[in-house]
C-alpha cells in the first residue's frame, strides 16, 4: 500500500482537476487568499498530488461534506493522517475524532456543560476581567495585543471557568497551536510543535485530573457526568482535555483577529462604538472574514461522489473553511469586512454534528471584549506591522502592535 502522510495514495477520478500546489508552505499559509481564490476557480474539488488528497474551497461543497458525517467521517482523523493506517500523535479526542454512536454520548455531555444556562453565570467575571485588562492597556497606550490582550483575556477567564487549579499561559496557548499544527503534513510547523510535546503534554494531562479541578467549574460538570455513569472517569479527563485543545488558542485567535479587523477598518469600529448591539454580529463577521480555523479534513468512508465527481473510499478531503467563507458565489463583496453583514451560515465553527460545541462560550467572550473596547477605547490603531503566525490549521497573528486612544 502506497502511503503519503499517513493515508493511502490514490488516483483521482476522471475529470477532477490536478493542481500542483503545496497548501502547507509558509508562503501559502501566510497569504492564503490567493490560494483560496485559485482553489475555488479550479472547481468544486481539486486533486493535490503532493499529498494525494482532494481539496474543496467552494461554499456549497464544503458545507455538503461537513453536513454528512456518514460518508465523510471524523474517526479517521481531521488532519492529513488517516487513523486507520497512521498512528495518531496522541490518544484521539473522544468528541472531535469519533463518529456516532460514540460521538453522540460525549457530545451530549460537552453540550450540557457549554449550554447557555451553564455559561450564563460567567458573564460578570468575564466583564470584570475585560475591563481590568482594557483599562490597563488604555493607560499604557501602546502595547503588543497578541500577548497583552488576545492571550491575556482567555487565559485569565477560561481556566478559571473550567475550575483549573493550575494555569500556565504559555503551555495552554502552545498546546492549542500544537493540536492544530498536528493536523498538517510532516512539515517544519508540525515538527516544531511535536518538539514541544514532552514539555507540554504531561502538564496538560495532569491538569485534566479530577483533583486538579474545583467543584464549581465546567470541568466539574464533566466529572459529574462520570459520577452519573454517563461517561467513565477516564473519558471525563479526555473531555476536559478537549476543552484545553479547542478552547484556548481558538478564542485567543478570535480576539487577535477581531482587533486586526477593527484596526484595519476604523469606520467599522466607529459603527460598533455607536451601537453596542453590533458586538455579536461584528464577531460573526470577524469569523467569516478571518476564519480562525482555516482547514479541517474529513475522510471518505465509502466510494461516493460530490458535485458529480467520484471519490474513492479512504480519500482525505481538505475542507478549506476559510475559502468557503470568502466564496463570492455565497457572499456579496466577500473581501469587504462589514460588521452588520450578519453572515448566517458561515463555516468558521464548522457545520453538522461536529459544529463547534463551545461556540456560545466563544461568542460570550468576544461579545464582552468587543463591548468593553467600544465603551473605553476611542480609536484602535496599528503601532507597527502585524505579523501572522503560520499554522497548519489555524489562522492567527503572531504579533500585533497596537495603540489605544482613550475615549
Ligand atoms: C478536541 C478538539 C476539539 C475541537 C477542536 C480541536 C483541533 C480539538 O476534542 O481535542 O482542535
Q: What is the pLDDT of residue 110?
A: 98
Mean per-residue pLDDT for 15-35? 97
Confidence of residue 102 (pLDDT cuts 50, 70, 90): very high
At residue 386, φ and ψ (nearest 5 deg) are -70, 145
| Cis preceding-peptide flag for 101 (omega within 30 of 0) | yes
Question: Which percentage of the chain shows pLDDT scores above 70?
Answer: 100
Distance from the CA of 381 to the center of ligand 1, in angstroms? 33
Q: What is the pLDDT of residue 114?
A: 98
365: cell is: 467572550
CA pair distance 50, 47, nearest whole angstrom: 9
| Residue whose CA lies nearest to ligand 1 atom number 9 | 242
Average pLDDT of the chain, as a whole number: 97
pLDDT at 149 over 90: yes
Mean per-residue pLDDT for 336-348? 98
Distance from the CA of 215 to the center of ligand 1, in angstroms? 24
Distance from the CA of 243 to the center of ligand 1, in angstroms? 8
List alpha helices for 143-278, DSSP H: 145, 152-162, 169-181, 188-195, 197-207, 218-227, 233-246, 249-264, 266-274
pTM of the model: 0.98
Instruction: Report the number of distinct structural domains present in the chain.
Output: 1
CA pair distance 62, 240, nearest whole angstrom: 29
277-304 pLDDT, tens digit each: 999 999 999 999 999 999 999 999 999 9
CA pair distance 300, 93, nearest whole angstrom: 19
226: cell is: 462520570
CA pair distance 127, 120, nearest whole angstrom: 12
Residue of 245, 253, 291, 359 to mutate, ligand 1, most atoms within 8 A of C-beta: 245
Q: What is the pLDDT of residue 166?
A: 84
- How many Cβ atoms are within 10 Å of 274's Cβ, its own excluded? 9
Which residue range(s) make up the domain with 89?
3-406
For cell 475542507, what's the residue? 319
Distance from the CA of 216 to the center of ligand 1, in angstroms? 23
Classify strands 309-311 and 46-48 as parallel, antiparallel or unpaired.
unpaired
Q: Give the number of the atom of ligand 1 that is nearest the alpha carbon of residue 182.
A: 7
Judged by DSSP in three states, 200 sits in: helix
Residue of 74, 79, 113, 246 to mutate, ligand 1, most atoms within 8 A of C-beta: 246
Distance from the CA of 378 to the center of ligand 1, in angstroms? 36
216-252 pLDDT, tens digit each: 999 999 999 999 999 999 999 999 999 999 999 999 9
Closest CA to 63 of 349, 282, 393: 349
pLDDT at 91 over 90: yes
263-275 pLDDT, tens digit each: 999 999 999 999 9
pLDDT at 1 over 90: no
Q: What is the pLDDT of residue 39?
A: 98
CA pair distance 45, 15, nearest whole angstrom: 10
Mean per-residue pLDDT for 373-399? 98
Using CA atoms, how far residue 318 sits from 99, 299, 333, in Å, is: 18, 9, 25
Q: Give the number of the atom of ligand 1 that is nearest the alpha carbon of residue 78.
A: 7
Distance from the CA of 205 to the center of ligand 1, in angstroms? 15
pLDDT at 311 over 90: yes
Please provide the DSSP assignment of 320-381 as one string: EHHHHTT-TTTSSSTTS--TT---TT-STT--GGGS-TTHHHHHHHHHHHHHHHHHHEEEEE
Q: What is the pLDDT of residue 192?
A: 98
Pocket of ligand 1 (CB under 6 A): 93, 95-96, 179-180, 242, 245-246
- C-beta separation of 64 from 329 below 8 A: no
CA pair distance 339, 265, nearest whole angstrom: 10
Closest CA to 317 of 23, 1, 14, 34: 23
- C-beta separation of 17 from 47 below 8 A: yes
Mean per-residue pLDDT for 147-151? 98
Helix and strand numbers (H, E) in the chain are 18, 14
Q: What CA dihedral angle connects 361, 367, 373 and 375, to 10 degrees?
A: -130
For residue 273, give the CATH number of its domain: 1.10.630.10
Amino acid at each position: 500500500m502506497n502511503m503519503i502522510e499517513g493515508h493511502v495514495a490514490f488516483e483521482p477520478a476522471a475529470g477532477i482537476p490536478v493542481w500542483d500546489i503545496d497548501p502547507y508552505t509558509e508562503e501559502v499559509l501566510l497569504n492564503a487568499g490567493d490560494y483560496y481564490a485559485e482553489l475555488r476557480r479550479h472547481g468544486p474539488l481539486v486533486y493535490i498530488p503532493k499529498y494525494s488528497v482532494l481539496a474543496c474551497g467552494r461554499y456549497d461543497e464544503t458545507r455538503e461534506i461537513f453536513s454528512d458525517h456518514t460518508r465523510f467521517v471524523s474517526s479517521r482523523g481531521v488532519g492529513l493522517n488517516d487513523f486507520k493506517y497512521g498512528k495518531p500523535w496522541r490518544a484521539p479526542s473522544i468528541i472531535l475524532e469519533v463518529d456516532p454512536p460514540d460521538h453522540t454520548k460525549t457530545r451530549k455531555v460537552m453540550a450540557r456543560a457549554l449550554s447557555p444556562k451553564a455559561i450564563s453565570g460567567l458573564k460578570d467575571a468575564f466583564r470584570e476581567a475585560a475591563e481590568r485588562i482594557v483599562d490597563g492597556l488604555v493607560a499604557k497606550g501602546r502595547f503588543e495585543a497578541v500577548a497583552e490582550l488576545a492571550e491575556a483575556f482567555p487565559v485569565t477567564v477560561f481556566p478559571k471557568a473550567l475550575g483549573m487549579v493550575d494555569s500556565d499561559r504559555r503551555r495552554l496557548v502552545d498546546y492549542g497551536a500544537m493540536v492544530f499544527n498536528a493536523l498538517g503534513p510532516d512539515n517544519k510547523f508540525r515538527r516544531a510543535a511535536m518538539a514541544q510535546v514532552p514539555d507540554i503534554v504531561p502538564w496538560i494531562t495532569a491538569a485534566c485530573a479530577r483533583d486538579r479541578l474545583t467543584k464549581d467549574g465546567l470541568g466539574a460538570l464533566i466529572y459529574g457526568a462520570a459520577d452519573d455513569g454517563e461517561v467513565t472517569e477516564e473519558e471525563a479527563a479526555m473531555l476536559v482535555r478537549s476543552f484545553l485543545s479547542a478552547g484556548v488558542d481558538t478564542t485567543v485567535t478570535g480576539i487577535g483577529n477581531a482587533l486586526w479587523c477593527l484596526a484595519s477598518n476604523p469606520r467599522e469600529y466607529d459603527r460598533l462604538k455607536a451601537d453596542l448591539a453590533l458586538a455579536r454580529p461584528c464577531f460573526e463577521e470577524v469569523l467569516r472574514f478571518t476564519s480562525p480555523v482555516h482547514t479541517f479534513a474529513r475522510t471518505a468512508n465509502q466510494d461516493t461522489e460530490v458535485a458529480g465527481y467520484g471519490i474513492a473510499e479512504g480519500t482525505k478531503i481538505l475542507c478549506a473553511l476559510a475559502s468557503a467563507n470568502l466564496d463570492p458565489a455565497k457572499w456579496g463583496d466577500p473581501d469587504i469586512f462589514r460588521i452588520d453583514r450578519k453572515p448566517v451560515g458561515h463555516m468558521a465553527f464548522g457545520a453538522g454534528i461536529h459544529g463547534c460545541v463551545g461556540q456560545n462560550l466563544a461568542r460570550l467572550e468576544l461579545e464582552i471584549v468587543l463591548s468593553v473596547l467600544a465603551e473605553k477605547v476611542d480609536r484602535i490603531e496599528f503601532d507597527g506591522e502585524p505579523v501572522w503566525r503560520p499554522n497548519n490549521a489555524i489562522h492567527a497573528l503572531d504579533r500585533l502592535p497596537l495603540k489605544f486612544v482613550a475615549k
